[in-house]
Structure 1
Amino acid sequence: MSNRMNKMNRREFIGGTMAATVAMATGTATAFADSGQQSKKKTVKDLPYNPRTHKAMPTRNLGKTGYQVGIFSLGGQATLEIKGKEKDSVDIINRAIDLGVNYIDTAAGYGNGVSEINIGRVLKDRRNEVFQTSKTADRTYDGSMQLLEKTLKQLQTDHLDLWQLHNVRTQDELDKIFSKDGALKALLKAREDGMVRFLGVRVFATEFRTNGRN
């Protein structure tokens, strides 16, 4: 894993992120920092499949994942992250999947875990229909691994299809992520162990700056 971290320097990381930003032409973007190979220790199941998606809406290739994602997806904020809105959240999630949505995005920080818990109420019975993502805003190895364990428990699943670094804005954050015990180490370890399938980063391109250091 250390060799892999050495090969993926800051310039490659930022370059992939900015390329995705330009391609999407938005203020925020998801960049797949490393698709890599499937874990040798644990093989995750086949990619999810919602049989309604292709009939309900156009689809697009999701980076280099090999997954066809519908042009409409479901985000884990608003109602889904509000405590006391369990029934409404479950109804929204089930309805979205019934209408062909095959991608649900959330984060450990949405509602301090409420979003993941509400999604998990549906995911426990419909995991194979949804490409499920989550994010870590922690920049350390230990903190991110602890968040991932909590995320999987709350989502009631044994793996994520995509785990992302959340809201990366500054060079200082990037330095922490790439440090010896930084969050990148957690992402690579989680993929190696079969806890996540793909890795990515969410950046605010208009606020992120780099001084060109490796």
Structure 2
Amino acid sequence: MIRTAAIFGILLAAAACEREAGRELNRAGDFGESTLSNAAVMSGERSFAIQLASRFAKEVPTTINFDFDSARLDQTARSVLDRQAVWIRQFPEVRFRVFGHTDAVGSNAYNKSLGLRRARAAVTYLVSRGISRSRLEAVVSYGETQPLIPTPERERRNRRTVTEVSGFLKRHPTVLDGKYAQIIYREYLESAVPGTTLTAQQSLERTLQ
């Protein structure tokens, strides 16, 4: 009985000294929270798309900007779209949507059209970088209706497109086959400190010897 308690104590100590796989999902750092998050995702309580959208926005720039009354992609815009394309290619199961925006100069109808041209320009470029057009679910123009900087004047920050995760390809072979972890948590196992399991196992073996 004492020996069993000692073994259990060693395993608990080893676990306490290391961090849990997937712990980045838990900002509070409480042990077991990542398992709770995974269970919520698997049961549908937490949206896959919301998690990936947050990751996409964190890891790559989602916005490009345009010159006044133009849908031409400059070098900076192309560089941002290149980064988006690299990220998007890593997740062939995921669909994206591109939103076009303008500043407030010009009529509503004209700006709606201009925002659409900007969104289409971004989509066309992403397709040229190897992204299937079927994965770019829709091209949407908000025109001047959603400014970042409320002003009636010319404002480059309002002249933009924004790329966002919109969902999953319904018939992709890795979707709806029980392998969701391959989609969302590709680095899940790698997030654990190397040697965590080996350390606990070695401690157990040495105790039993």
Relative to the length of structure 2, the TM-score reads 0.31
Larger proportion of helix: 2
Relative to the length of structure 1, the TM-score reads 0.31
Larger proportion of strand: 1
